[in-house]
Structure 1
Amino acid sequence: MNAPLPEPRFLTADDLSDRAGFDEEFLGIGLPVPALAMLETTLLPYTHFSILMRSDKRLAAVTALGIDGSHLMDMDRSGIDWRLDPRLGESMQTGAGLYSRNDIDRGHLVRRASAVWGATQAEAAQANSDTFFYTNAAPQAAEFNQSLDLWLGLETYLLDNAADYGRRLVVFTGPVFSDRDPVYRGTGIPLMYFKVAAFLHEGGLAATGYVVDQTPQLRELPDIERPGAMDAAPPLGPFRTFQVPIRDIAALTGLDLAQLVDADRMPIAAALPTAAVTSAWRELSNPECLDLDFDLRQ
């Protein structure tokens, strides 16, 4: 059970005015933050990453992170409190009230360890701190958030085996919002999350997509308003991670992922271009189970 959260240190928008955000040329080719049409969004820049916020959900639609594996640093999180982003109204983001005195964790969308890099310790430390804005928090059942070794390890695996541009990798992460999401304290809790990793392979853009699910864990939380669809057995089980066609992620989220769909290196995505959403998902038990149209370790 989470203890009551301390009040965060007061910040102003000026404190964040120097943040450059995600570099669209990070891989040496243009790769923008995916857009979301027909909905009100706000793009917020941080150190090494940007977050596209959805006003209607008060959560991120997608985060965009550039990882420089050759400059990663090992820093702890001591002394860093979660806090609201002063550039966004409190009513447009989800803060401490959602996570206090319950078993919902503040899961990082932008993985802290992946963002902590830089030419200097000061740059890495700023990135470390920036990952603790509530805009980067994802409401996750505590048991789920603490059992994501495979999900989190995919970034490290791809950096070690796939990235051939100075060990650089771009990762887009976010919730998969749906009408089945249960409501807790006025906030819809996403049942699933997605990740799309992009890197260069033989000089061209390559990408691969993933989905992870927390449906069973949310059944155990008290005071959740469950839509009727929650009464049915979920299609996915606890802690199961899937490699999926990126076009499925685009269909489920509404994000413009066309450039990444074209770069998808999952063979079934090309072999079955009209397959129904979820029908071509591949369950992963470890990163070596990835199905790609080339050998990562060559």
Structure 2
Amino acid sequence: MNPTDPPSPSQPQPPSPRAGGPRRDALADRTGYDEAFLGPVVPLALPARTSVETVVLPYTHFTVVFRPDRRLAASAAVCIEGRRLIEDAARDDLWELDPRLPEERQAGFDLYRNNGLERAQLVRRQDPVWGTVAEAGQAHTDTFFSPNAVPRASHHAPSPADELVQGRRLWQGLETYLMDHVAAFDRRLCVLTGPVLQDSDPPYRGVQVPLRFWKVVAFMQDGALAATAYVLDQSPDLGRDAERALAGAKAGAPPPLGPFRAYQVPVSDVAEITELEFGPLPDVDLLPPMRAPEDRWRRLESFDDIAMQG
């Protein structure tokens, strides 16, 4: 048969996972986040909250804990093997709905159409891309399923020194910075992340848009478990934006969102604002205790501001 001829009926071809959406069984072999990734002595469970319904969705090297009532993830957890990262893995940046969930329970493509919101990944595309070439390519593709996306402000600042750009770069580069500061012979991280889901989050197109995001990073340091935690805040200045918010709500516009502000915070504070369980991580936090409550959240202007010694 000529290579350009279509396949004959007697030679059935496997359906493409990208043709008309992935098949429901296309994700059946995913094993997800490994709780014992940092060692069997210090297993780290998925951040959990038993008072609300969630669906656990395993992918390649990461898992999303999804909240159908919010149409967004409650948390995500990824294993990063720094020594085996593959930088030139095959790229496939096409966003897909997860076939394991009803379409109407997912925040689909309409949420991001013709507005100032961007579809931001909870698990960065480069974080789970390690292992064999096939594993790495599959992991990259898996980060583009919609449960791994959250709505964030799409700021286009005019200057690299602008605080909008600084906050974004700090947040996006946290894993890379921390991996470079973990012992060279190890370079393993478990990154737990998600939006802060509150009842007061502003609604837009059937989805309540979160105003803050959190990240807890766990690793081994000097033979012991260690952790640091961070919050990215895009809350608007209510005094400045109240009138714009009211006008936007009447016009069906997305809620006004403020500049990205990044903080290093106590792991226990992340547990409090999310109502999630983080196992042993609050007790191994490297952020020194602050005497004054107003100093508990350390504003990050650069990576040099991150505390790495408990």
Q: Tell me which interval the TM-score lies in, with the shorter structure as reference length.
A: 0.7 to 0.9
Return 5+ residue gaps in structure 1 as ranges.
1-6
Match of 1:3 in 2: none
Match of 1:60 in 2: 73
Matched, 1:125 2:137: yes
Percent identity of paired positions between Structure 1 and Structure 2: 45
Map residues 138-217 of structure 1 onto 2, 5 A cutoff. Answer: 138-143=150-155, 147=165, 148-163=168-183, 166-216=186-236
Moved over 4 A (4+): 76-79, 217-226
Q: Contact 1:141 / 1:217 at 8 angstroms: preserved in 2?
A: no
Counterparts in 2 of 1:55 and 1:202: CA distance versus 1, 3 Å: same
Q: CA RMSD in A?
A: 2.8
Structure 2: which amino acid aligns with 1:241?
A
How many matched pairs? 275
- Cα drift, residue 12 of structure 1: 2.0
TM-score scaled by length of structure 2: 0.81
TM-score scaled by length of structure 1: 0.84
The separation in 1 between residues aligned to 2:126 and 2:263, in whole angstroms, is 22
The separation in 2 between residues aligned to 1:144 and 1:158, in whole angstroms, is 26
- 1:91 is aligned, of 71, 92, 104, to 104
Map residues 254-269 of structure 1 onto 2, 5 A cutoff. Answer: 254-268=275-289
Secondary structure of the corresponding residue to residue 288 of structure 1: helix
- Cα drift, residue 205 of structure 1: 0.8
Map residues 240-259 of structure 1 onto 2, 5 A cutoff. Answer: 240-259=261-280
Post-superposition Cα deviations, 1:255-275, rounded to whole Å, max 9, x if no partner, equal 01242111211111xx65xx7
The separation in 1 between residues aligned to 2:287 and 2:208, in whole angstroms, is 31
The separation in 1 between residues aligned to 2:102 and 2:185, in whole angstroms, is 38
Of 241-250 and 283-292, the range deviating more from structure 2: 283-292
- Cα drift, residue 76 of structure 1: 6.9
Q: Contact 1:44 / 1:52 at 8 angstroms: preserved in 2?
A: yes
Match of 1:103 in 2: 116
The separation in 1 between residues aligned to 2:224 and 2:199, in whole angstroms, is 37
- Cα drift, residue 92 of structure 1: 2.1
Structure 1: which amino acid aligns with 2:171?
W
Counterparts in 2 of 1:79 and 1:37: CA distance versus 1, 3 Å: closer
Of 215-224 and 59-68, the range deviating more from structure 2: 215-224
Secondary structure of the corresponding residue to residue 60 of structure 1: strand
Structure 2: which amino acid aligns with 1:246?
V
Match of 1:280 in 2: 296
Return 5+ residue gaps in structure 2 as ranges.
1-17, 158-163
- Cα drift, residue 13 of structure 1: 2.1
The separation in 2 between residues aligned to 1:195 and 1:8, in whole angstroms, is 34
- 1:18 is aligned, of 9, 29, 33, to 29
- Cα drift, residue 225 of structure 1: 7.4
Structure 2: which amino acid aligns with 1:253?
T
Structure 1: which amino acid aligns with 2:307?
D
The separation in 2 between residues aligned to 1:262 and 1:215, in whole angstroms, is 29
Q: Contact 2:216 / 2:230 at 8 angstroms: preserved in 1?
A: yes
- Cα drift, residue 239 of structure 1: 1.9
Structure 2: which amino acid aligns with 1:18?
D
Q: Contact 1:182 / 1:225 at 8 angstroms: preserved in 2?
A: no
Q: Contact 2:31 / 2:60 at 8 angstroms: preserved in 1?
A: yes
Choose 1 or 2 for highest CA Rg: 2
Secondary structure of the corresponding residue to residue 151 of structure 1: helix
Secondary structure of the corresponding residue to residue 242 of structure 1: strand
